[in-house]
Structure 1
C-alpha cells in the first residue's frame, strides 16, 4: 500500500549541566558531552533557500510523533516542533517550550515552567493543556508510542497556577528532563483526549508547508518564533534520496547544499572538492546486527555468544567505516557516555571460542539468515558479507539476504530474526537502555529480556549517588555485552558533507548533521 502522497493543506569530554534551580541541591551530576569536530564560527545571515538530501525516509512515514523512526523524520520534527527541553551543541540541557524546571531533593517531583507568549504556527497559543496532552499521548495501556517506556515512570501530571506543569514519578529520576529531548516528544495542539498531529501545526522555528512521504518535506521560517536567534534560512527543502550515488551526485552538482550518510570509501576524494566540507564527528551512533533472542536458535545465549565471537570488529571499522569510528563491545554505552565502563572486556574475534559456544548450545554448526540493506547504514550489505566470511571459520553459515531500501524499517527491522541496524544513540544511558534494551520495549530490536537488567535499570534511574549509579550501569553494560541479542561491532562517527553556501558554528554530536537541528542552526552565505 502506497502512502506517497502530497498534503498541501500544511499550504570528550566536557560536562553537561542541568538547567534548573534544584539540580545541585538534588545532587544531580552532569552528564558527559560528546566529542566532535569543530568548525569556525561565522556570523549568520537571514534569507535564502537550503536544499538538504537525506539518506532516510519511507513512503509510509507520517506526522504521527509516536511512529517516527528515521533521520528524515527526526530532522522534520526538530525543525517544525517545539519540545520542553533540547540538547545543546555542547551536550548540555537547554530550555525550549519549558523555560526552567526544578526537582524535589528525591527527584520524584518535577516542576516545569512553560514559556509564556508562545504560539503554534496557526496562531493558537501554546497552553498547559497542550503540553499535558502531548506527554499523555505517549502514556497509558493503549499507547503504541515508541516513547512509551520513557514516560512510563510518570504517575501523575497536573497544572499548577497559570504557567507550570508538575510531573510526579513512581521513583526518582536523575535524568528526567532529558526525556523530553527525545524526538518523539513534540508539543502538539491538544485535541479532545488526544493531540492534533495530522495538521502539522507545530511550535518550532519552521512551518511545514508540504509533506510528500518518502520524497520531500518543505518548510518556511516561522516569523513569530519565540527565539529570534535561530531559524535564519527563509525556506527549507528536505529531500529523501536513499540512493547513495544519487545523493552524492546532487551535492557535487550543487543541486543540494548538504547530504548525510556519505560513501566512506570515497569520502576522502569527495573532500578534495574545494566547494565541499566533510564533517566526521564522534558520538553515540552505532551499527549493529540485531539477533532476536525470542527466536530459535537465537534464543540460546551460547548461540548469541558464538555469533559475537565470529565477527572481526576491526575489519569492519577498517573496511566499512574507513577509520571513521571505533570497535564496539556488544553494548551501546560507548566512550561518549558519562557512565561508560572502560574496563569492560572486549569480545575478541575468536573462531575457536565461537565453536566452543556452539558446542555448549549442543550444535556442531549454525545456519542463520542475515537481512541487510544500505538503508540500515552505509555499507550494511558489505558489512554483512564480511561477517559471513569471518563466521565461516567458526562453522557458522550466514546467508546474507539483501532486501530493498524502501520499507526496510517497516518491513524488516523488528520483524526479521537477524538484521542490520543503526542507532543514533541517546543523550543518557537511561534513555538508550530504556528505549532499546528494556524487556518488552517497542524498539527492543533483539527482543531480549533479562530480569536483572530491568531491575538495575529502574534502580539506576532513581539513584542519586554517583558511585552507586556508575556501578549499576557497569553491570548493565556487562549483561548486555555477554547475554544480550545485539551484536554491536562498531561505533560510527557521524559523517556528512556541506556545500560552500552553508554557514555554521560548532557542530553538535548527539545526532547526525548537527544533532539534526541544522534547520534552526545553519545559515547561508551570499
Structure 2
C-alpha cells in the first residue's frame, strides 16, 4: 500500500456560536464543536444486478452487501486471513473429513429470526443442491452431509478433505441467508450484519442503516447510515469527489485522472492491491501455443513495467504467476522470464519460428484490455510476431466465444476471484492447459488443513505456472482509493472485492 505524499488532512471543523440571548455580550458566548459525522456516501463505478451474492457472480454485489448486510460462518479479514464469524470456533477431524462448528448464540437476522444450525444447514444445502445457482457451487461439492446435532452445532461431513473449506466459507457466495426471506434477497436483502437494507433506487443508489441489534458487541459501529452511489463515468466520479457529493471512491475508475486531485487537501489517495489479475490467456491446445517454448518466448517479449505504465498509468503490480501479493504464500516470480527481446527471438527460432507467426488477440472492450493489447502488439512486433486485435464484447460475446467455446488464440482479461490459481487445473477451462503435476499439487492443498503446508504448496504451484506460461502474467490491477481525508477505516487492499463499513468512522 502506498499513500500519495503531500496530501494532508484539512483542519478541524469548528463552529463558534456567540450568545445573543437576553442581550448578553459576545464575550459571554460559549464554543460548541460540531459532532462527528455518522453518515457516509460511497461511490461505485458499477451498479450491482442484485444484492444477493449467493445467486450471482458479479463482484459489485458483494461490494455492497458482503460484511455490511450479510455474514458467513467464517470471514476473510483485510489481510486476507480467515477469521471466525457466525461460527465462533470449529474442530477438524484427523482425517480432514469432518468439520464441527460451534455457532454463536444470540444472533438474529434483520427480520428478527434467530440464526442457528437449521439456518446454516438450509444455506449450505441451498448452495450445493442440484438446482443451485450459487456462483461458487463447486466449492460445496466436497460436502456429503450437513448435520445439526443441536441448535448451536453444525457438522459438515466431506467426501474427501477440503483444506480450503474455511476460506471458501468466508466468501460472499457463502453468506448465511434466512430461509423465509432468501427468495427476495436479490432486491430486499436480509442478513445478520451491522447494517440493514433500507432502499434501492435503481440507477442511482442503495441506502443502508445501522443495525441497532447487531450481535457483535466487540465492534463499535460508528456509522448510522451509508449510501452507495453508482457513477459510471470517470469524469463524473472525479467531479463528485471534488464537490463532496460522494465521500469516497474506494475503486476510482480512471487512473489517468488521479493526478487531477493533487493539491486538494480535503482528499487523500491510497493505492493498494486487488485480486484482479490481468493475464493474456493462450489457447494451449492450438498451434503454436501448444509449444511451451513459444509461450516462454512471448513472455520474454513483454516488458511488464511498460504494460503497467501504458495500460493503467503506472498503477499496478507486475506478476510472474497467477497470484497476487494479497494471497498467502505469494512468490514474486517476475524474474523467471524477464523482458529480453533477443532471448525471445532465439527461443522462437529454436521452436521452429525463426520468422515469427501471426495470430489474433480477442480483446474485451474494457480500457485496460484494449490498452494492454495495443502495447503487446508493439512488443511482439519487435520479435517478428504479428498480433491482430479483434475487439470482443464483454461479457456476452467473450463468454460464449472464449470461455465456453474456446475459439480463440489469445485473449486478455482481469480474473477477479481471490486465490483462483485452481482455474489452471479445471477441465474444461478456456486455457486448455493440462499438467498432471500442477493438478497433484492443488490436490495436496485440499488434502491438508495446515496453513504452512498449504502456503508451501501454493508456492510450488505458482512456480510451475511461471515456468510453463499457460498465460502471459502481466499485472495486478491497483485499488485506487480516493476519499475524504477525515474518513478512516476503509480497506486499503482488497483480498476480497468489498466495501466493508464495520470499522469506518469520521475523524473529528
SS at 1:190 equivalent: coil
For the Cα contact (< 8 Å) 1:206–1:220, is it kept in 2?
yes
Secondary structure, counterpart of 1:477 in structure 2: helix
Distance (Å, rounded) in 1 between the aligned partners of 2:150 and 2:71: 22
Q: Which moved more, 1:417-426 or 1:293-302?
A: 293-302
Answering whether residue 483 of structure 2 is matched by residue 498 of structure 1, we say yes
**Match runs of 1:246-285 below 5 Å:** 246-259=236-249, 260-282=251-273, 284-285=275-276
Q: CA deviation at 1:67?
A: 1.6
Indicate the residue corresponding to 2:195 in structure 1: 206
**Distance between the aligned counterparts of 1:64 and 1:226, measured in 2?**
22
**Distance in 2 (alpha carbons) for counterparts of 1:61 and 1:217:** 11
Residue 366 of structure 1 is aligned with which of 358, 373, 396? 358
Establish whether residue 70 from structure 1 lines up as the match of residue 59 from structure 2: yes
Query: What residue in structure 1 maps to residue 299 of structure 2?
Result: 308
1:511 aligns with 2:501: no
Residue in structure 1 matching 2:96, options 104, 107, 113:
107
- The match for 1:287 is 278
Change (3 A) 1:396 1:57: farther
Deviation of residue 315 (structure 1)?
Answer: 0.8
Matching residue of 1:333: 323
Distance 1:126 1:451, change over 3 A: same
Following superposition, the deviation at residue 109 of structure 1 comes to 1.8
Could you tell me how far apart the structure 1 residues matched to 2:271 and 2:344 are? 34
Tell me how far apart the structure 2 counterparts of residues 371 and 348 of structure 1 sit (CA, whole Å).
24
Unaligned runs of 5+ in 2: 13-34, 403-407
Partner residue, 2:30: none
Cα drift, residue 170 of structure 1: 3.2
Query: Structure 1 stretches of 5 or more lacking a match?
Result: 1-34
CA distance in 1, matches of 2:455, 2:488: 39
**Residues 143, 158 of structure 2: 8 Å contact kept:** yes
Helix, strand or coil: the match of 2:206? strand
Deviation string, structure 1 residues 282-318 (Cα, Å, up to 9, x no partner): 4654322333446676566555445433322121233
Query: SS state of the match for residue 280, structure 1?
Result: strand
1:231-252 residue CA offsets vs partner (Å, 9 max, x unmatched): 4322222123232222122111
CA offset at residue 96 of structure 1? Answer: 1.9
Residue in structure 2 matched with residue 49 of structure 1 by the alignment: 39
Q: Does 1:523 align with 2:505?
A: yes
RMSD over aligned CA atoms reads 3.6
Q: Deviations over 1:417-453 (max 9, x none)?
A: 4443224563xxxx4224x333148xx5645444332
1:311-460 to structure 2, matched below 5 A, reads: 311-329=302-320, 331-342=321-332, 345-351=335-341, 354=344, 356-357=347-348, 360=351, 364-374=356-366, 379-402=368-391, 408-413=394-399, 415-416=401-402, 417=408, 418-424=410-416, 426=418, 431-434=419-422, 436-440=423-427, 446=431, 448-460=433-445
Partner of 2:227: 237
CA distance in 2, matches of 1:273, 1:525: 18
Q: Please report how far the alpha carbon of residue 140 of structure 1 lies from its aligned counterpart in structure 2 after TM superposition.
A: 4.7
**Comparing 223-232 with 468-477, which one deviates more in the overlay?**
468-477
Residue of structure 1 in register with 2:157 after alignment: 168
Shift of 1:255: 1.3
| Cα distance change, pair 403–524 in 1 and its aligned pair in 2 (3 A) | farther
Residue 116 of structure 1 aligns to a residue whose secondary structure is: coil
Deviation for aligned residue 1:62: 5.9
Measured in 1, the distance between the counterparts of 2:264 and 2:334 equals 41
Q: Deviations over 1:303-352 (max 9, x none)?
A: 544543332212123344455433211x2234444423456852233445
Flag the 1:445–1:502 CA change in 2: closer, same or farther, 3 A: farther
**Equivalent residue, structure 1, for 2:462:** 477
Q: Encode CA deviations 1:381-421: one digit per residue, 9 max, x unaligned.
A: 322221221122233333334566xxx34553574444432
Q: Indicate how the Cα distance of structure 1 residues 68 and 469 shifts in structure 2: closer, same or farther if over 3 A, else same.
A: closer
193, 207, 229: which one pairs with 1:218? 207
Selected match of 2:126 from 117, 125, 137? 137
* Preserved CA contact (<8 Å) 1:292 1:445: yes
Displacement, 1:172?
Answer: 3.4
How many residues are treated as equivalent by the alignment?
470
User: Is the CA contact (8 Å cut-off) linking 1:133 and 1:190 kept in structure 2?
Assistant: yes
Structure 2 counterpart SS, 1:437: helix
**In structure 2, distance between residues paired with 1:84 and 1:234:** 25
From the CA coordinates, give the structure whose radius of gyration is larger.
2
Q: Does 1:148 align with 2:131?
A: no
1:250–1:256 Cα contact (<8 Å) kept:
yes
